[in-house]
Structure 1
């Protein structure tokens, strides 16, 4: 079948990976039917572990648990976010209106950086200026309970995703206002790095839940507004629309 390319919103994604993302250069992907950024969902309504795709909203069910072996960490748990190549089970074909597919092979191209929202904003004592939110190839997107934020920063040393935090600030009508904060750095930093982190909405935390529940969806659509401190005291702002029910479905 004709191979499908990942939607344009994800073009060049691998190029912005820093920190601890794992790349598997051995997977050429020549035999895959399509490529996706996915969320690994355990104990789903489909039974067992499935992959929920970002690009088209498809659900991928492995024909055997061994199909997902490459998505397991050393402790036996599954990585939650990854970029993968997918081979559909023989006889399956992408069909208009169909949202669930059985898959016989999953090749891991990259493990994404992912973490929960920070729910204790008052503990973030420092706030270094970011260079930018988003870039020409990567825009913020939100799906399956994750807000995915590409950004550029300055540093004088190696940083990890634990040096960056996203937290909910307030609800304004249909908008959830959030802030991305860099808590480790230096005022005279000169090296520039780019990264992408998938921030998971922690609906089991009451402080976050109280803010989220004040957002008023418009026909199930909400806006997530990401702000950050920029250089020369400039405020950086990016927004994205998403489905309120979809964001809560992974809870």
Structure 2
């Protein structure tokens, strides 16, 4: 299985800190944020990883991560020239993943406690087209919310006023290699981006979108408060 870490984006909610450095290089606990995504990939047994980054701070990524040797992984870099949405960033991995291979995708600002090792192993052995990771949250209206039906997701609703469940779709995904065909088929949203929710909803419409529930803590470290909370959880511990 291949690993894809998406670490582009402008980090607008974390300005002015992100006016100086990309948000995925900001310190969380004792390490830069990106450190933990690499930890999770390595722990899951994935050793061939593509890191999608923006032009700003590209040299700093290489300085810190290098070839990936400190994690016993092999890291390849790809530049996302401009913001075009999560699905557009994932589409840049098309040539990195061979037909028939499966992939684990992590958004670099998603920090979490659970090991993904068992989930990855089960997905590799199974035949489901895609799986997303869900976490129960206090206010699901802030997130993509799944509609659950017969052990699958029938649709994901983005920031619904009346959520159909108490779960949020996190920035962690498992896909078959046909995800790139689906990305090419979706149209830009009203904000001009290729949305990962639209990609996932294609799988849902085909009855091929499963899910896994996270039992430990999870945060999208994209705000000042969530960045602080994650740092407090991770202080003194290089592993999540």
Question: Structure 2 length as normaliser, TM-score?
Answer: 0.29
Q: Greater RCO between the two (CA within 8 Å, min separation 6)?
A: 2
- Greater share of residues in helix: 2
Report the TM-score when normalising by structure 1: 0.28
The structure that has the greater radius of gyration is 1
